[in-house]
Chains A and B, each alone.
Chain A
Amino acid sequence: MKRGIIHGLLPLLLPYCALFCAGLALTLAQSLGLFLPLGSGEITLEHYQPLIQDQGIRQSLGLSLFVAFFSAAGSVLGGTILALALWRMPPPLRRVGVVSKVGLILPHVAVAFLVLLMLSRTGLVSSVLFQTGIISSPEEFPNILHTGSGLGMILAFLLKGVPFALLLIGTVLFGFDIRLVQTAHMLGAGPLRTFWSVTLPRLLPAMHSAFIILFLYAFGSFDIPFVLGESHPGMLSIRVFDIFFQRDLSQRPEAMAILTLMFVFAALFAMLYNRFAAYLDGWRRKL
């Protein structure tokens, strides 16, 4: 039986080890000073030290976490609200929801482009406000794209994330047995209570999945920060790109060190998040 299982999993395990694990191993190795074109060939932790001391890296990490959290949370929230709104529509009207697939299909660079077109100081929204007399010059338009807090990036991630969350949550919601809700109503529960105790628990797994995926994606994303990112602080992934492609070859281990830490963070986050979600659920039940 065991041989059968391994045999069945082999088409996947082989490339998994040869490509994914090997790639990770080499990133780790290079961060430790091995396999480097200009290295001494001995294991060393010296490339990790500047990371801990460098204030710029800490700021980049902070920005990446901030942008990832708010874009993921916003997407899940927005996706849930939209899913609920669509659910309450009669099924024929519900088809309008398919429009949201545009957000899924557009590549990330295109979404960043759209944010630029619409929300830059001389963009479309600004033009509309100007024409309606609300503002009288581009300077009066709020500085959305360059606040230093990554707002532009968050908006771009939302445009991609809301349809994704909508898809995941909507699948659960639209397959929901309406009788459960009706039973709750019959037993006297108000709409809010019904939502909290009957609907929400069934949506939570999908919401958590969406959150993890969107959070980790935004954390390590390259396309959107490259177009919409700002000089200072930059997102962590752009820092790595910078060191890897624009600087001296001797600085490469530092980039690998950052990547190794990013991987460890992502893996831990994925594993621990489920425990945290279960804890939150227990807390919620007590209410």
Chain B
Amino acid sequence: MRVIIFLSLFLALTAGCSEAPQEESVLQQDYASLENLARGSEVRWHMWGGSAQINQWVDTYVAAEMKRLYDISVVRVPMDAPVFVNKLLTEKAANKDTGTMDLLWINGENFKNAMQAGVLFGPFTDRLPNFAAWYDTQKSAHDFGYPVDGFEAPYGRAQFVFEYDTDRTPSPPATLAELADWIKAHPGRFTYPQPPDFTGSAFLRQIFYATTGGHEQYLSGFNPELYAKNAPQTFSWLIDLKPYLWQEGRTYPKDAAALDTLFARGEIDMGMSYHPAHAQMKILEKTYPETVRTFVLAEGAIFNTHFTAIPFNAPNKAGAMVLANFLMSPEAQLSKFKPENWGDMPALEVAKLDEAQRQTFDAVDLGAATLGADELSAAAVPEITSEYLELLERDWDKIILGH
């Protein structure tokens, strides 16, 4: 008897798994009917949840506006990008045609892995009106050197900066050589998050550019011989400085949040972030002292664009597309740009806006701790193809940690 009950329970559960995806029909429709289709539905947006500020912006502004404009409820789900890409890979392998994630915040090697495994839905950005209106298709055509092909929609821009406290460090280093000298002069006061953490990995790439003569040589696709020739210089720089790092370089903070905590509590004297307004955000949150400022090295500061994408098995593709479109709108980009909300640089072309709108963007005060747009763009250097990234991370594990 019990066996029968159990079996029927199992059958009932499996019966719900055979909804056919509506892929083709969603891509065929024009945007206005997508908005109608998605009215009253729920969109589950999976994104990195390590910043309370960003979480709050999504939960308040984005959710409220989406409800008001389109009657769509946005549910934010905290989940790291490698984790949800992994989840999609597993779901694809298990033939799960209806998943639970609608929109993803993604870029870089996670995007590449997802594309290569075929777990993303698209191309869809050409169907979104805001993309054609405000964005430069050329600039958003590549993500870490990998072609986007309309499978992800631009969301924001970020640039790598170092953070320091003017109280403790009156004049920060300006070049790589000065940084090395500073580290040696202040043993135990510098560290970086352990790759493959996003920020730690970015720091690794910064050093890679700076120690091997710049980024231009890497722009034409992955070249294994070039890597093999140049990487040793990077690692010998890192090994040279290893004993002067925090904890003598034996152990590294697990992620960017752990690094922030060390810096905030004064255990180290420098922080770093792939988000120029991060320091200002932390000052507003009262986690950093007000004397914190940011700087970039003369050798350049990496910048990238980050995106949103839709999984192949998203249950609500129409809703996800409406959300992606909204995030690209000038209103959302402006709100995101304000440091009390997030301070993330807009991905749209400010030049395409009309005069009044452009002025509202110019008027945003990023705070004393954030470098000005001119200084940032002067130092900006692009990301390179992610094969370099993966090799750097793997070799870092081997050479620095000895795994």
Shortest Cβ distance from residue A220 to the other chain B in the assembled complex, whole angstroms:
20
Bound Cα distance from A246 to B255, whole angstroms: 13
Bound Cα distance from A230 to B401, whole angstroms: 11
Q: Is the CB of B188 within 8 A of A139?
A: yes
B residues 82-96 touching A (CB-CB < 8 Å)? 82-83, 86, 89-90, 92-94
Q: Does B250 contact A (CB under 8 A)?
A: yes
A residues 11-66 touching B (CB-CB < 8 Å)? 11, 14, 18, 37-38, 56
Q: Does A97 contact B (CB under 8 A)?
A: no
Which A residues are closer than 8 A to B by beta carbons? 10-11, 14, 18, 37-38, 56, 120-122, 138-139, 143, 146, 148, 229-232, 244-246, 249
Bound Cα distance from A64 to B401, whole angstroms: 18
Bound Cα distance from A30 to B118, whole angstroms: 23
Q: Does B247 contact A (CB under 8 A)?
A: yes
Shortest Cβ distance from residue A275 to the other chain B in the assembled complex, whole angstroms:
36
Bound Cα distance from A148 to B401, whole angstroms: 12
Q: Is the CB of A138 within 8 A of B266?
A: yes
Q: Is the CB of B401 within 8 A of A232?
A: yes
Q: Is the CB of B265 within 8 A of A11?
A: no
Q: Does B196 contact A (CB under 8 A)?
A: yes
Measured between beta carbons, the chain A residues less than 8 angstroms from B6 are: 14, 18
Seed contacts A231-B401, A232-B250, A249-B93; 6 additional CB < 8 Å A-B pairs: A37-B94, A56-B403, A139-B188, A231-B194, A232-B402, A232-B403
Q: Is the CB of B402 within 8 A of A245?
A: no
Shortest Cβ distance from residue B327 to the other chain A in the assembled complex, whole angstroms:
26
Q: Given A146-B247, A249-B90, verify A121-B267 contact (CB < 8 Å).
A: yes
Q: Does B2 contact A (CB under 8 A)?
A: yes
Which single member of A120, A122, A230 contacts B251 (CB below 8 Å)?
A: A230
Q: Is the CB of B402 within 8 A of A249?
A: no
Q: Is the CB of A231 within 8 A of B251?
A: yes
Chain B interfacial residues counted at CB < 8 A: 26
Which single member of A11, A56, A120, A230 contacts B2 (CB below 8 Å)?
A: A11
Q: Is the CB of B247 within 8 A of A143?
A: yes
* Residue-wise interface mask of B (1-23) relative to A, using a CB-CB cutoff of 8 A (1 in contact, 0 not): 01100100000000000000000
- 22 A-B pairs (CB sep. < 8 Å): A10-B2, A14-B3, A37-B90, A37-B92, A37-B93, A37-B94, A38-B93, A56-B402, A120-B265, A121-B267, A122-B265, A143-B247, A146-B250, A146-B251, A231-B401, A232-B401, A232-B403, A244-B86, A245-B82, A245-B83, A246-B82, A246-B196
Shortest Cβ distance from residue A238 to the other chain B in the assembled complex, whole angstroms:
10
Bound Cα distance from A148 to B82, whole angstroms: 27
Shortest Cβ distance from residue B172 to the other chain A in the assembled complex, whole angstroms:
21
Bound Cα distance from A14 to B4, whole angstroms: 12
Bound Cα distance from A38 to B92, whole angstroms: 11
Shortest Cβ distance from residue B273 to the other chain A in the assembled complex, whole angstroms:
20
Bound Cα distance from A244 to B83, whole angstroms: 9
What residue of chain A has the Cβ atom nearest to residue B84's Cβ?
A245
Q: Does B252 contact A (CB under 8 A)?
A: yes
Measured between beta carbons, the chain B residues less than 8 angstroms from A246 are: 82-83, 86, 196
What residue of chain A has the Cβ atom nearest to residue B10's Cβ?
A18
Shortest Cβ distance from residue A112 to the other chain B in the assembled complex, whole angstroms:
12
Measured between beta carbons, the chain A residues less than 8 angstroms from B247 are: 143, 146
Measured between beta carbons, the chain A residues less than 8 angstroms from B402 are: 56, 232
What residue of chain B has the Cβ atom nearest to residue A139's Cβ?
B188
